[in-house]
Amino acid sequence: MHRYKINVEYKGTNYVGWQRQNNGMSIQESLETAINQLTAEKVDVFGAGRTDSGVHALNQVAHFDLKKIMELDSIRDGLNQYLRPQPIAIIKVEEVSSDFHARFSARQREYSYKIVNRRAPLTVDQGMAWILHKKLNITKMKEAASFFIGKHNLGAFRSVDCQSKTSIKTIDEVAVKDIDHKIFINVKAKSFLHSQVRIMVGTLVHVGECKIKPKEIKNIIKIADRKNAGPTAPAEGLYLANVFY
């Protein structure tokens, strides 16, 4: 068997998420179908992150095994041909060793959340960002973001559907950037709880709206109760930006 690693970009708006499900089309199923059409082999595709319904990816990483050897460019171009007109693109293909695993070999993942902060409605960013019309205090959001760094019990930032055995997670970086009415919140960690980034973003927005003070993040983390954190930000603003190995 030959193992191939692929870098995938997709717009998740009309998908039930990465993982194959019975209630609609997933990114995983779309990729497996395209690989079968290209190679006549039935494969399982394993992703680095299980993005939720409506969430996008700039650089999802996945792998699959084939019996046959194929040119890397032929895999990339062939899969892109079968994936059309779906908003899924194979950016890069590499052959890797059999001990590589897209999920378990990952050392760090980076998610990016996009907020458009202006009075005018969305146009080109419709379905790709969270529109907030009230001006946010970026300075306070940056101050609040710093309290997430480190190893914490993030029980306040997990959804009721989270299946993780523990809510203890280590966050390596949280960066808040404001570029021409667009706010990007980037979070880096090895792993995440279900809806963690979206709840973190919702809480930082509460800070930016001056509903809570930046230092209150420390108490929210300490108490570890979901009701104390902010709302879950909409899925359409979230992107799996990068995976590091």
The candidate with the shortest Cα–Cα distance to 201, out of 114, 123, 128, 80, is 114
User: Which contiguous run of DSSP H or E holds residue 187?
Assistant: strand 182-189
Which residues make Cβ contacts (< 8 Å) with residue 102, sequence separation at least 6? 5, 46, 47, 48, 61, 62, 63, 243
Q: How far apart are CA 48 and CA 60, in angstroms?
A: 7
208 CB neighbour count, 10 Å cutoff? 25
Q: How far apart are CA 13 and CA 190, in angstroms?
A: 25
Q: Tell me the catalytic residues.
A: 52
3 bridge partner residues:
65, 96
Q: How far apart are CA 54 and CA 153, in angstroms?
A: 27
Residue with tokens 């997709």: 10
